[in-house]
């Protein structure tokens, strides 16, 4: 049956050329859209995502604006020391501006090694930072202690992403790098560091917070299921020490903050891609539907003769739909070949192959539905009427 359909299509190749070209364009746009959407989804489940569940960060600023003075910072430190005894608190980390993932303050600069510079994020952290945020172990070396920041050559950990950019391989601990006119010694490599779902791994360095000169950031890890209890106790304690008329207090649930950002970004991507593609599919459906309908009208003599010779309406309807599906399959091949060469799906993971498969299935459904009604109407033709109309 397939061989017979291919022969029929070849005999009608000129009349099918418009549908063929249209479906090439439709599938190319559809495949491109799926590939764009699968990347943030793939990154969402990628290895190396920082841990943010049950982690809170708070900020205290002067009511009239401005950062906390030294006296206020000392009060905050005393309060944090007492918080360590709370039943709701598991761990506390004190860092410098830009260290806590997804907060506003971002610190970037260039590190220098062997005379070459590499742009990277700077994270001034304490010894609890790794326990709080990093999901994986350190592939080489170990995390630093707070006291290490006072050494002549302080320690620095770098991400695997930065090590790859630098071309460093093997055991790289002990390598000397320069940052902001200061010398550091690499003491470890963080395997992967992804600050937010849907983002790529970043190049970053981790330095003891005692060296930094930016504003302090505070992160508190609550025990599972005790976030609400911690929040109530936190505000009760902090308003005893910091009057509301003098200070502005903000407590952030980092996990929920990320969820809101991710929802906004994914929604924006879906609307930005989905609406144009949706209109394209509607217009392409109408075009394919119209062409198939017109061709069925022109083939009434042929279709009526087939029924007169014993072809059942169901078989005739299936033949017309299969013609469109086979044509669609051939139309998808150019885009699949180009995409396979550009993206190397085999090395990307199952998510990328799933995106290609989903685009193919949707295109087949598009082809089947656009041909179904014309085929159904054509299958109802009466042989005598069809032959009489074409005399």
144-176 tens-digit pLDDT: 988 888 888 999 999 988 999 998 888 888 899
Asked if 116 contacts 107 with a C-beta cutoff of 8 angstroms, the reply is no
pLDDT-based confidence at residue 326 (cuts at 50, 70, 90): confident
Please identify which residue in the block is written with the tokens 């790794």: 130
Q: pLDDT tens, 131-145?
A: 888 867 777 788 998
**Are 56 and 252 a contacting pair, CB within 8 Å?**
yes
- Is the CB of residue 179 less than 8 Å from the CB of residue 122? yes
Q: What pLDDT shows up at residue 308?
A: 67
Instruction: For residue 193, give Cα distances in angstroms to 25, 35, 254, 281.
Output: 38, 23, 16, 39
Q: Any idea how long the chain is? A: 391
- Rounded distance between C-alpha atoms, residue 370 and residue 390, angstroms: 26
Instruction: Extract the tokens encoding 96.
Output: 């410098």
What token pair was written down for 330? Answer: 């051939």
Q: What is the largest CA-CA distance in the chain?
A: 101
Q: Is pLDDT of 387 > 60?
A: no
Q: What angle (nearest 5°) sits at the alpha carbon of residue 373, between those of residues 368 and 378?
A: 115
DSSP state letters, 218-275? EEEEEPTT-HHHHHHHHHHHHHHHS-TTTEEEEEEEHHHHHHHHHHHHHHHHHHHHHH
pLDDT tens, 191-205? 878 776 666 778 999
Q: How confident is the model at residue 388 (pLDDT cuts 50, 70, 90)?
A: low
First to last CA, the chain: 29
Nearest Cα to Cα of residue 368 among 279, 278, 274, 289: 289
**Residue pair 56/222 in contact by the 8 Å Cβ criterion:** yes
User: Exposed, middle or buried: residue 262 (CB in 10 Å: 0-12, 13-18, 19+)?
Assistant: middle
CB neighbours of 166 closer than 8 A, spacing ≥ 6? 113, 116, 118
> Most confidently modeled of 108-112, 136-140, 188-192, 381-385?
108-112
Mark out the alpha helices in 12-60 (DSSP H runs).
13-44
Task: Tokens for 204, please give them.
Answer: 């970053």
CA-to-CA separations, 152 to 46, 147, 149, 211, in angstroms, rounded = 38, 12, 8, 12
Residue 58, CB half-sphere, CA atoms under 13 Å: how many?
20
Q: What pLDDT does residue 240 have?
A: 83
For the ranges 73-87, 90-104, 237-251, 283-297, the maximum mean pLDDT occurs at 73-87
* Helix (H) or strand (E) segment spanning residue 349: none
Contact 277, 30 (CB under 8 A): yes
pLDDT at 347 over 50: no
To the question of pTM greater than 0.75 for the whole model, the response is no
Domain spans of the chain? Answer: 2-46+261-389, 89-220
Strands 247-253 and 55-62: antiparallel
Cα–Cα distance between 346 and 45 in angstroms, integer? 18
Q: Which helix (H) or strand (E) element contains residue 341?
A: helix 313-343
Question: What's the pLDDT score for residue 282?
Answer: 76
Contact 288, 19 (CB under 8 A): yes
Tokens of 143: 């995390």
Residue 41 in 3-state DSSP? helix
Residue 304 confidence (pLDDT) = 66
- Residue 152 has a pLDDT of 86
pLDDT for the residue 36: 74
% of the chain surpassing 90 pLDDT: 17
């Amino acid at each position: 049956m397939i061989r017979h359909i291919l022969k029929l299509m070849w005999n009608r190749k000129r009349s099918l050329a418009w549908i063929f070209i249209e479906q090439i364009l439709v599938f190319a746009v559809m495949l491109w859209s799926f590939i764009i959407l699968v990347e943030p989804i793939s990154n969402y489940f990628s290895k190396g995502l920082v841990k943010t569940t049950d982690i809170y960060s708070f900020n205290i600023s002067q009511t009239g604006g401005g950062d906390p003075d030294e006296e206020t910072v000392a009060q905050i430190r005393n309060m944090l020391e007492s918080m360590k005894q709370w039943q709701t608190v598991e761990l506390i980390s004190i860092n410098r501006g830009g260290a806590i993932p997804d907060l506003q303050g971002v610190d970037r600069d260039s590190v220098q090694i062997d005379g070459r510079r590499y742009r990277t994020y700077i994270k001034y952290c304490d010894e609890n930072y790794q326990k709080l945020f990093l999901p994986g172990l350190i592939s080489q070396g170990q995390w630093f202690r707070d006291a290490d920041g006072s050494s002549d050559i302080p320690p620095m950990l770098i991400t695997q992403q930065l090590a790859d950019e630098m071309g460093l391989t093997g055991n790289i601990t002990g390598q000397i790098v320069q940052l902001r006119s200061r010398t550091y010694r690499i003491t470890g490599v963080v395997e992967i560091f992804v600050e937010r779902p849907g983002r790529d791994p970043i190049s970053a360095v981790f330095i003891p917070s005692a060296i930094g000169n930016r504003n302090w950031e505070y992160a508190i890890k609550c025990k599972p299921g005790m976030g609400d209890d911690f929040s109530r106790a936190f505000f009760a304690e902090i308003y005893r020490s910091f009057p509301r008329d003098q200070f502005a207090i903000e407590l952030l649930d980092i996990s929920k903050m990320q969820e809101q950002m991710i929802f906004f970004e994914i929604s924006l991507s879906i609307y930005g891609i989905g609406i144009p593609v949706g209109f394209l599919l509607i217009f392409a459906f109408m075009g394919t539907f119209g062409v198939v309908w017109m061709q069925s009208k022109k083939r009434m003599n042929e279709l009526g003769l087939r029924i007169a010779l014993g072809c059942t309406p169901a078989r005739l309807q299936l033949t017309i739909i299969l013609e469109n599906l086979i044509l669609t399959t051939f139309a998808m091949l150019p885009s699949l070949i180009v995409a396979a060469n550009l993206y190397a799906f085999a090395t990307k993971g199952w998510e990328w192959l799933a995106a290609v498969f989903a685009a193919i299935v949707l295109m087949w459904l598009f082809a089947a539905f656009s041909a179904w009604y014309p085929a159904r109407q054509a299958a109802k033709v009466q042989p005598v009427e069809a032959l009489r109309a074409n005399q």
